[in-house]
A and B are shown apart, each in its own frame.
Chain A
Amino acid sequence: MTGPARLEVSALSVDVPGRRLVDQVTWSARPGEMVGLLGPNGSGKSTVLRAVAGLLRPAAGSVALDGADVHQSTRREIARVCALLTQDHATDVELSVLDVVMLGRIPHGRGVDDEAIALEALRRCDALGLAGRHFPTLSGGERQRVLLARALCQAPRLLLLDEPTNHLDVAHQLSLLSLVRTVDVTCVVALHDLSLAAAYCDRLVVLKDGRVVVSGTPHEVLTPDVVTDVYGVACDVLAHPRSGTPLVAVTPLDGSAVDLPEGHP
């Protein structure tokens, strides 16, 4: 099967010994959709992504890709459909960039055009010039582009990104998410920046303490009430002057940060 996958997460719960990290979350991503996972630190975003990728066994509930249960599949079967970009990738991998990208072909077995696929993935990520570089010498932005190229090299139908814009400057944040939008794939992305999520995602799922608080389009989800409830900050939601997507401006609940230093206009 080819083309973007349909993802259905039903009543998913994930435990670590003595604690429930994710509690009965239900949400879905339609084929080709980009879904943003939002929520404060520790709300369960990464845990949900890992469970969807089959890396964590759920205590209850299920994850289905086009109707097939992920947790009944082998590692290789999952990796042929689903690519995951985690936050904590080893940086000291003593391989060339091209070799790192070619790792994405592992689930598909050996193929004569593996190198061509890897080079094409690097080109799409605007990282072709890095192909011969030694991976540990890359800067943070270069590394994210190369790792995204590896994820694309996996030819996934579902792309899972765990805070891919971490450590990137604004220009690289925009170019990375714009690039992801051009790929014909279903995408789930965990993000911290609410305005960025609003600008790039079709729908948002907001988590708090391992539960889904609300889900829907950015306009439906990003309201001052929701942001205040989930993050515990005061919030104004404006419209982006160019695109009209929600722009979220936050201040502490007690209002202290709006007291500007003396002499400030």
Chain B
Amino acid sequence: MTLTSIRRAAAGPPRPVRRTIASPAATVLAGLALVAVSLVAVGIGPVLVDPTTTLRIVLAHALPGDRVADWSAVDDQIVWTFRLPRVLLAALVGASLALVGVVLQAIVRNPLADPYVLGASSGAALGAVSALVLGAAVPGLLVTSAAFGGAALAGVVVYVLASRGGRIESLRLVLAGVALSYLMSAITGWITTTAEHGKLPGLLFFLLGSISSAGWSSLPLPLACLVVGLGWTLARHRHLDAALTGDETAASLGVDMTRLRVESLVLTALMTGAVVAVAGGIGFVGMVVPHVCRLLVGARHRVLVPLAVLVGALLVVLVDTIARTAASPREIPLGVVTALVGAPFFLWLLRRRPVGGTA
């Protein structure tokens, strides 16, 4: 039998329904939507700037060469100095959280896994809040490093708690993460209630999540972590696929599951630490986005990861735009909006999908 005839036979009549859309189309569509929504989002605010002008301002700054500016200096400053970094940070935060969710859900084989479940978020929040109470300023290097350290430390502690005899099991990993999260949230809460009044706004920022203080200097850290995380994930996409089949099968396919878990814990702690350091605690993105994308294109990581990263970015850009405009001039904390949007959506998804059934 020739290869062509095998392919033809495989594509033959019994090809059944698989309700997923073509994956390249979904990814391209998500990418275009992200660019379009970002441009519009940059223009929206107390001062409206139309998307064409926005695009020209951005290009004028980003590309070398002189251009005749037919827009006002105020528009220029609003777009380039204030709104663009914020929108870009929103995209980075969303992309990172979605990627962390995808990786964690694969390695613990649990659809509930997200940055919160494995303790990284609460560790980062505890680190940041401790630094604030001890006198650090927001935004500052000290708070950033403390959030980072907290996430990394939580990752290490969860790993130590979950491993026995050199092996990590996924259920123990989830349980250790959840228990540690409660513990650290309790300590964070205690610190918050005993903090001076003047420090409360800064503390709430980390507990509820916000990117209102975004500037160009906020971008390099989460960007670097996202690039490293994305590179690792794409290099290991087949191992993550194998992890879905269970520890024993994955091991029999030549995947060192303990090594995979350690690597992914390190990278997810890194990405979560970077996100919390610049944006505080933002829930639901890491849990919901991987689910939605899996419904769209299936669980193959080579396809799932790029789509989830784009959809995560798109979602947080949208949500942040709502957060800063819906109750203008006041801002709703970003984490509050993601939870308000995410929780009902997740519950709807849960009801729509038969338990143990297929997408």
Contact = CB atoms under 8 A, between A and B. Distances in A.
Given A80-B254, A96-B18, A106 B249 contact: no
A107 B253 contact: yes
Interface string A158-202: 000000000000000000000000000000000000000000000
Contact of A94 (B238, B248, B253, B299): B299
Contacts of A55: 248, 251-252
Nearest to A82: B252
B242 A106 contact: yes
Given A75-B256, A106-B255, A95 B242 contact: no
Contacts of A137: 16, 358
Given A99-B241, A116-B6, A123-B6, A132 B16 contact: yes
A89 interface: yes
A79 interface: yes
B300 A89 contact: no
B352 interface: no
A30 interface: no
Interface in B314-333: none
Contact of A88 (B3, B248, B251, B357): B248
Interface string B277-321: 000000000000000001000111000000000000000000000
Contacts of B109: 90
Nearest to B259: A75
A154 B253 contact: yes
A199 to B, nearest CB: 27
A104 B253 contact: yes
A93 B248 contact: no
Given A95-B299, A137-B358, A106 B253 contact: yes
A90 B251 CA distance: 13
B59 interface: no
A119 B7 CA distance: 7
Contact of A89 (B9, B238, B245, B358): B245
B254 A75 contact: yes
A76 B6 contact: no
Interface of A: 50, 53, 55, 74-76, 78-80, 82-84, 86, 88-90, 92-96, 98-100, 103-104, 106-107, 116, 119-120, 122-123, 128-134, 136-137, 154
13 contacts: A53-B252, A55-B251, A88-B248, A89-B249, A95-B241, A103-B241, A103-B242, A106-B239, A119-B7, A122-B10, A129-B10, A129-B14, A133-B18
Interface of B: 1, 3, 6-7, 9-12, 14-16, 18, 109, 238-239, 241-242, 244-246, 248-249, 251-256, 294, 298-300, 356-359
